[in-house]
Amino acid sequence: MKNIHYFLFTVVLLCGLVGTSFGQNKLTVAQKQQGYKLLFDGKSLNGWKNYNAPGISGWTVEDGCLAASGTGGDLNGYIITEKQYDNFDLTFEWKIAAQGNSGVLYHVMEGAKFKTPYLTGPEYQLLDDVGFPEPVKDWQLTGADYAMHPADVSKKKLNPVGQWNTSRIVFDNGHVQHWLNGKKIVEFDAWTKDWFTLKNSGKWTMAPEYGLSETGYISLQDHGSKVWFKNMIIKELPNKKKNQKVQLFNGKDINNWINYGKELWYVDKGTIVCENGPEKGYGYLGTREYYKNFDLTLKFMQETDGNSGVFFRSSCEGTTISGWQCEVAPMGLHTGSIYESYGRGWLIQNTPDKEKVLKKIGEWNDMRIKVVGNEVTTWLNGVQMIHLVDAKIGQANGRICLQIHDNGGIKVRYKDLVLTRL
């Protein structure tokens, strides 16, 4: 009888140890009270999908772990969460195979123009620091903010290959922390002058949209080696920037804007002027930062009978723009209406009676554009022009861009561009 009791006790003890070894993938009472959620339930791939494609491939559940097959590469092998996250506190356990390379990315955006997640989302790097077979730089080692901020080696303790590590990423309204095995090893602020200088001086010069989104998917990378994840828990943090006002134009210069194309953008008498140059082509002046949910007010004046507009949640490659435009145009050409620059064209047009509030050439107009989630509302001189609900817009993020149309002879002024974050 004693032997039976001892045997049962041993079985229970071993089961407990096995459960600990492979991870419980369960929240404690305290974690639930603090608002944490599981990213991985330990049993299924629910909540995850392929990047830029339906379904899920190359990843399986293995002994209670979310496991990569090791068959991915630079342009494939990524999975993302089905949900997007803004500000968050993410903790996860991981281990990697010998000579392995992987990473956890966040604020990832999908879209045909983005072939891989790292073109948009920052990455917490995971690597076999000791055995990786190729030379690496400090910003490629475990815990680094990949290609941006290396980890503090004086605080870093990485367990050997095959052993579990605990990592943590905190993104709190632009303030970022990377933790490894209980030690903070990276800390920086996104979207500052120093951050943009760093972004524009290294690898990301070839990825103009990198790191700009304040929201997006969390992504796991299969970079050609086995990697395992468990106990992935996340808590969403409050948006501290809500209702914050942003002066998009200081009345003096456009240093924080980006000129796309060869048309003329300059400051004159406290206004931004867009004017056709010799090529008489399309041109855009885009904000350096992204703005997803906002209430924007501005004034515009047409000095000639020309076509312009205000794009939102947009991105540019040269003078090819992806996004949505609130039209600024002569009478009868739908000022305040919404046009999609690719695919669907006009999404909604105002009625002719509403547009009669447009002022004459040489007079200032007041425009208001409110974008929240999948809803867009515009006003012209105090009169509502349109209200649109569109799921595709709801999934997007990007810059605000002023447009000048082609064909020549266009001159439009903008001023008093004030944005309220929502």
Confidence grade of residue 113 (pLDDT, cut at 50, 70, 90): confident
Output the average pLDDT for the chain: 92
State the pTM of this model: 0.89
Confidence grade of residue 21 (pLDDT, cut at 50, 70, 90): very low
Q: How far from 98 is each of 153, 155, 163, 225, 226, CA to CA, in Å? A: 21, 23, 11, 8, 9
Give the total number of structural domains in the chain.
Answer: 2
9 in a structural domain: no
146 in a structural domain: yes
Confidence grade of residue 19 (pLDDT, cut at 50, 70, 90): very low
222 in a structural domain: yes
pLDDT (0 to 100) of residue 280:
86
> Do 99 and 224 lie in a common domain?
yes
> Do 29 and 47 lie in a common domain?
yes
> Do 387 and 322 lie in a common domain?
yes
Can you give the length of the chain in residues? 422
> Do 225 and 122 lie in a common domain?
yes
> Do 101 and 171 lie in a common domain?
yes
> Do 252 and 223 lie in a common domain?
no
15 in a structural domain: no
Quick one: residue 345, left, alpha or beta (phi over 0 = left, psi -120 to 50 = alpha)? left
Domain end call among 213, 236, 259: 236
* Average pLDDT, integer, range 172-198: 97
How far is 10 from 2, CA to CA, in rounded Å?
12
Residue 304, pLDDT > 90, answer: no
> Do 73 and 105 lie in a common domain?
yes
> Do 268 and 219 lie in a common domain?
no
308 in a structural domain: yes
Residue 9, pLDDT > 50, answer: no
Confidence grade of residue 170 (pLDDT, cut at 50, 70, 90): very high
> Do 230 and 267 lie in a common domain?
no
How does pLDDT run across 204-255, given as a tens digit for each residue? 999 999 999 999 999 999 999 999 999 999 999 999 999 999 999 999 999 9
How does pLDDT run across 210-219, given as a tens digit for each residue? 999 999 999 9
* Average pLDDT, integer, range 349-375: 95
Domain end call among 236, 253, 280: 236
How does pLDDT run across 372-420, given as a tens digit for each residue? 999 999 999 999 999 999 999 999 999 999 999 988 789 999 999 999 9
Domain end call among 215, 236, 257: 236
How far is 397 from 406, CA to CA, in rounded Å?
26
Domain assignment of residue 317, given as a range: 245-421
> Do 266 and 142 lie in a common domain?
no
> Do 249 and 394 lie in a common domain?
yes
* Average pLDDT, integer, range 172-193: 98
68 in a structural domain: yes
Per-residue b or e along 321-358, where b marks 16 or more CB atoms closer than 10 Å to that residue's CB: bbbbbbbbbeeeebbbbbbbbeeeeebbbbeeebbebb
331 in a structural domain: yes
DSSP reduced 3-state for 128: coil
pLDDT (0 to 100) of residue 5:
41
Among 77-91, 140-154, 177-191, 299-313, where is mean pLDDT lowest?
299-313
Q: What is the dihedral of CA 119, 121, 126, 127, to 10 degrees?
A: 10
> Do 299 and 155 lie in a common domain?
no
Confidence grade of residue 279 (pLDDT, cut at 50, 70, 90): confident
Percent above pLDDT 70 for the chain: 95
7 in a structural domain: no
The CATH number assigned to the domain holding 49 equals 2.60.120.560
Residue 123, pLDDT > 90, answer: yes
What's the sign of the alpha-carbon dihedral 233, 207, 393, 77?
negative
